[in-house]
Chains A and B, each alone.
Chain A
Amino acid sequence: MSNDPYHAGTADELPSIEEQLVAYLDGELDDESSRSLEQRLATDSTLRLQLGRLERTWDLLDQLGRAEVGETFTRTTIEMVALAAEQEQRQEEAERPIRRRRRLLGAAAGILASSAAGFVLVWALWPNPNRQLLEDLPVLESLDEYQQIDGIEFLELLHERGVFAGEGDHDGV
């Protein structure tokens, strides 16, 4: 490229002084770095030259000018957007019954699920009077015989002596 000492390396490996100069011109350098750079610029004419070139070529970009946009552009753009708005509205209206159905189905599913959960909960927790009867059934079937015995200790004595051997084992009896 050139023998510029600030241009060491390839174009892809610009030293940081290049970045500092550009950032300085753009007002993006912090105060401390700006002061440090200004001190260098004060004593380094090559650096000042480089800064000047950067500034002048940046100013040249004003030659590009700013676009003037005609009414046709404005009108056609607004028409495009109006068309998009209409399409959006039509799509929304088309989807409304589908969304309503989904909401109703969702609500129905929710009610069903809640009911099922409630049923299961009540069934699990509510005391079942029949349960106790079922447990006591063996005793009830032989109630007449048991009423002839005074106490449980006599039954336990008969059981120890093997009187009930061979009969089914009734828990709790």
Chain B
Amino acid sequence: MLEVRDDNAAAFEELMLRYQGRVVTVLEHATGNRDLAEDLAQDVFLRMYRARKRYVPGAKFSTWLYTIANNVALNALRSRARRREVTLEGRESGPLGVRPLEAMIAASSGQIPARAADKAEARDVVQMAIQSLNERQRMAVLLSKFEGMSYAEIAESMGLSVQAIKSLLSRARNNLKEVLEPYLDRGQPPASEVGLRPAENEADSIRSEADRD
């Protein structure tokens, strides 16, 4: 990044190649839209280039990059939410209305097929679960899960305190648990290569563990 700061074009390209997939991943899952994610990712790299002279040596580059990405994503999500307010009422964020969590739980428990869920369906279910979170919870989860960032790094990127991140992630993960539990309890897990135990055996093991105590 120091070379990018000194206007080295090759260094910028190398940095971009290293991070473009990661940034698009986070933005895709944050917005639920791949095309929008790519547009936003380009905006992130453009802002990164324009702000290169302000980069402080010693600061962690990924934290700085995701500060930009977080701002870009939140701005996009908020302007999208404002546009939707014209036709829908009472929504603060997310596509599932005033009570996205409850809607998701109902969807998860009622609509998940009993047969083995293939990978695409599992992905859809998890994507919906992620979208049921509010913007900040979602971003904190994505930075934690896909970037492996610490609470302190996430706090810096999102402009919040570490305690706020701790609370945010706690609520987010408990919300995800509530939404996805019915899926775990009823549906078959995705293909075995992802390493999950079969849901039926898992449900039995949970029940027998509870019975034992």
Contact = CB atoms under 8 A, between A and B. Distances in A.
Contacts of A73: 20, 24, 38, 41-42
Report the contact-size class of chain B (Cβ under 8 Å from the partner): 35 or more
A133 interface: no
A22 B20 contact: no
A57 B176 contact: yes
A78 B175 CA distance: 39
Contacts of A56: 184, 196, 202
B45 interface: yes
Interface stretch (A64-72, A100-108, A119-127): A64-72
Interface stretch (A11-19, A137-145, A146-154, A165-173): A11-19
A74 B122 contact: no
A67 B127 CA distance: 14
B210 A49 contact: yes
A22 B169 contact: yes
A67 B42 contact: no
B122 A66 contact: no
Q: Is the interface of B mostly helix, strand, loop or mixed?
A: helix
Given A63-B123, A66-B146, A77 B20 contact: yes
Interface string A21-37: 11100101000000000
Report the contact-size class of chain A (Cβ under 8 Å from the partner): 35 or more
Contact of A74 (B17, B167, B194): B17
Interface in B127-167: 127, 129-130, 141, 144-146, 150-151, 166-167
Nearest to A89: B7
Contact of B206 (A49, A54, A62, A81): A49
23 contacts: A11-B171, A23-B151, A26-B169, A45-B213, A49-B209, A49-B210, A54-B173, A56-B202, A57-B177, A57-B184, A59-B195, A60-B180, A60-B196, A64-B29, A65-B123, A66-B25, A67-B24, A67-B28, A73-B38, A74-B17, A81-B45, A84-B46, A85-B7
Given A49-B206, A85-B49, 9 more contacts: A11-B101, A53-B181, A57-B181, A58-B176, A59-B195, A60-B183, A67-B24, A73-B42, A85-B9
Interface of B: 7, 9, 12-13, 16-17, 20-22, 24-25, 28-29, 34, 37-38, 41-42, 45-46, 49-50, 101, 119, 122-123, 125-127, 129-130, 141, 144-146, 150-151, 166-167, 169-171, 173-178, 180-181, 183-184, 190, 194-196, 202, 206, 209-210, 212-213
Give the 6 A-B CB pairs with smallest separation, nearest first: A45-B213, A67-B24, A19-B170, A67-B25, A63-B126, A22-B170
